[in-house]
Structure 1
Amino acid sequence: MFGSVKAKPGRRDQDRQATVAEMLSVIIPASNEEALIGGCLAALAASEEPGLPVEVIVVANGCVDDTFAVAEAARSAIETRGWRFEVIDRAEGGKLEALNAGDLIATPGGMRAYLDADVTVSQGLLAEVAQALASDSPAYASGQVRIVGGPGFASRAYARLWAQVPFMKNSVPGCGFFAVNSAGRARWEEFPHVISDDIFVRLQFAPEERHQVSAGYDWPIADGFARLVTVRRRQDAGVAEISRLYPDLQAHEDKGRMGMAGAIRLALRDPVGFAVYVSVAIRVRMARQGADWSRSR
């Protein structure tokens, strides 16, 4: 009598397992973003083929505008690519809760990209990020962030100078867009209720585990001096919160210091931008910190 033989996985099972392992899930939290979510999704739909299955998950959270409807209107453009498309309408607000809701319905075991609804990706970004994350070792990736100032004088000057500070110029900041592979996503469970999800995730990875690809994306910032101050307060509070709650993660920080010589060089190169940037920082220090946080714009 022949002994029992363990059946090998069929081709269909193998293909399904490979698809799960190689999936790229793009999760987009969106709160009252009817003016911008359409452009965000149109840019995604125009992306170069990343060479692996893609799913796009929009989580409309706490919206009182037409964010959900505008996102749904992009369904045809996304699904024409052969990509899965889901739009969730949550009555509850909160970006971190939206990220967790998107994670819950994303295909397990693949790459995850987290994209702000006001960000516009370049055509090659998804493909380059997918290539950078194609590793069994934990990895984090983002693109070249292009800080887009608003129409106002202060916003444009601030954006110009901010792009030159050491952290933005020499690190992988991941502002508005970052992605991790499966091994990287295993570094944390749910997103905690913190101000700065991007800092929390970036510091899960050592500098050598972070990869910046050549493709870029547009990341808008607040328009007007008062709004710049509000956003800068939020950013500073986010940095302080992560440092307080997760002190062990500070070992992965690689911001670098500008120093007096660096500050002088920036001031000489762009005196107007430097003056606006420093004025915002001074105003933040003078202001009493509140608990109501604004987004980057």
Structure 2
Amino acid sequence: MAALVRNLSDDSTSTAMPALSVILPASNEAALIARCLSSLVASRWNAAAPVETLVIANGCRDDTAGRARAQAGAFAARGWPLRVIERAEGGKLGALNAGDAAARGPVRVYLDADVTVSPDLLAQLHDALDTARPRYASGRLDITAGGVMARAYARVWRQVPFMARGVPGCGVFAVNAAGRARWGAFPEIISDDTFVRLNFAPAERVGVPAPYRWPVAEGLANLVRVRRRQDAGVAEIGSAFPQLRANDDTPPFPARDKLRLALRDPLGFAVYAGVALAVRLTPARAQGWSRGR
């Protein structure tokens, strides 16, 4: 068997059909998984049907699965099923497919392990997707950073029109049952969030006001590596799935707006522009799957 799946329902279980399934791929995320799960279980939730959470520990060489299971008591106290699926293989797309195969909820929330959600996000996503029409939704992105370079980059990145006015879904995006029917298994691609977002026309995407925290890469080298990977992911979608280009509504970033940003925040703009320039001028190295940050 290609995948090692162990103890599929070894944690808190519920016979009630969930209103929403959270699919959480996690590879070597022992340092972060408890914080992510703690934010989920602290969600405000008034629906009678529970929230189901599936952690897919894929290719882990640390105790990601064990630390996820340690949260079972908190989930059980709310009557929310928490299941941990262990796969020998790494690879986020395989993990997403394994989670989809096990999920029971009609609304699917795809969540990265380094994200922390605000208390109202799950409920707002559920309400936005409670329709028979295909819909995609995400929350208000709060980009977080620690180091000087990362903070400078994030200050400008969050003001780029696509990030400021769109529904990018970085780190967390959700679809309803009609929306999930738009594609079958996740294909082996770099950018799962871009692929899913572009399966929906702009009018089918909903941004809810509840925020979530998503960390940017730390250090100049990592910023360049991640930006190169992001650009490659977008280019790959355009090449492999040209029919999805019709749903791309990325707004322009005029030179005059860039100049205003540069004048307001010279350091931030210098770091942001420097990362973009480095991606263009330095050759990419072949790499397999890696986490985005």
Tell me the secondary structure at the aligned position of residue 35 of structure 1. Answer: coil
- Structure 2 unaligned blocks of 5 or more: 1-15
Q: Secondary structure at the match of 1:217?
A: strand
Q: CA deviation at 1:296?
A: 2.6
- Who is 1:47 aligned against? 43
| Higher deviation after alignment, 31-40 or 74-83 | 74-83
Cα pair distance change 1:294/1:97, threshold 3 Å: closer
Does 1:72 find its partner at 2:69? yes
CA–CA separation in structure 1 for the residues paired with 2:279 and 2:71? 39
Q: Which residue of 2 aligns with 1:144?
A: 140
- In 2, the alpha carbon distance for the partners of 1:50 and 1:139 equals 22
Question: What SS is found at the alignment partner of 1:214?
Answer: strand
* Residue in structure 1 matched with residue 211 of structure 2 by the alignment: 216
> Is 2:177 the partner of 1:182?
yes
Match of 2:55 in 1: 58
Aligned-partner residue type, residue 266 of structure 2: P
The answer to whether residue 26 in structure 2 is matched with residue 30 in structure 1 is: yes
Larger Rg: 1
Of 78, 81, 84, which aligns to 1:84?
81
**Which residue of 118, 129, 141 corresponds with 1:122?**
118
What is the total number of aligned residue pairs between the two structures? Answer: 276
Does residue 200 of structure 2 align to residue 205 of structure 1? Answer: yes
- Amino acid of the structure 1 residue aligned with 2:283: R
Write out per-residue CA displacement over residues 232-274 of structure 1, whole angstroms, 9 at most, x where no aligned residue: 0000000000000011101101111101111112112211100
Distance 1:295 1:265 in 2: 33
Q: Tell me how far apart the structure 2 counterparts of residues 181 and 77 of structure 1 sit (CA, whole Å).
A: 26
Does the CA-based 8 Å contact 1:50-1:126 persist in structure 2? no
Task: Note the C-alpha offset of 1:50.
Answer: 5.0
Cα offset for 1:53? 2.3
Is the Cα contact below 8 Å between 1:50 and 1:128 reproduced in 2?
A: no
- Write the letter of the residue equivalent to 2:245: Q
TM-score by length of 2: 0.92
> Whole-Å Cα distance in 1 between the matches of residues 19 and 42 of structure 2?
18
Q: CA deviation at 1:23?
A: 2.1
TM-score, normalised with respect to structure 1: 0.91
Which of 253, 272, 284 is equivalent to 1:277? 272
Q: Distance in 1 between matches of 2:121 and 2:264?
A: 30
Structure 2 equivalent of residue 194 of structure 1: 189
Asked whether the 8 Å contact 1:220–1:296 carries over to 2, the reply is no
Q: Which amino acid aligns with 1:56?
A: T
Residue deviations 1:195-239 (CA, integer Å, cap 9, x gap): 000000000000010000000100001100000000000000000
CA distance in 1, matches of 2:202, 2:111: 21
Runs of 4+ with >3 A deviation: none
One-letter amino acid matched to 1:61: N
What's the secondary structure of 2:252's corresponding residue? coil
CA contact (8 A) 1:62 1:91 kept: yes
RMSD after superposition: 1.1
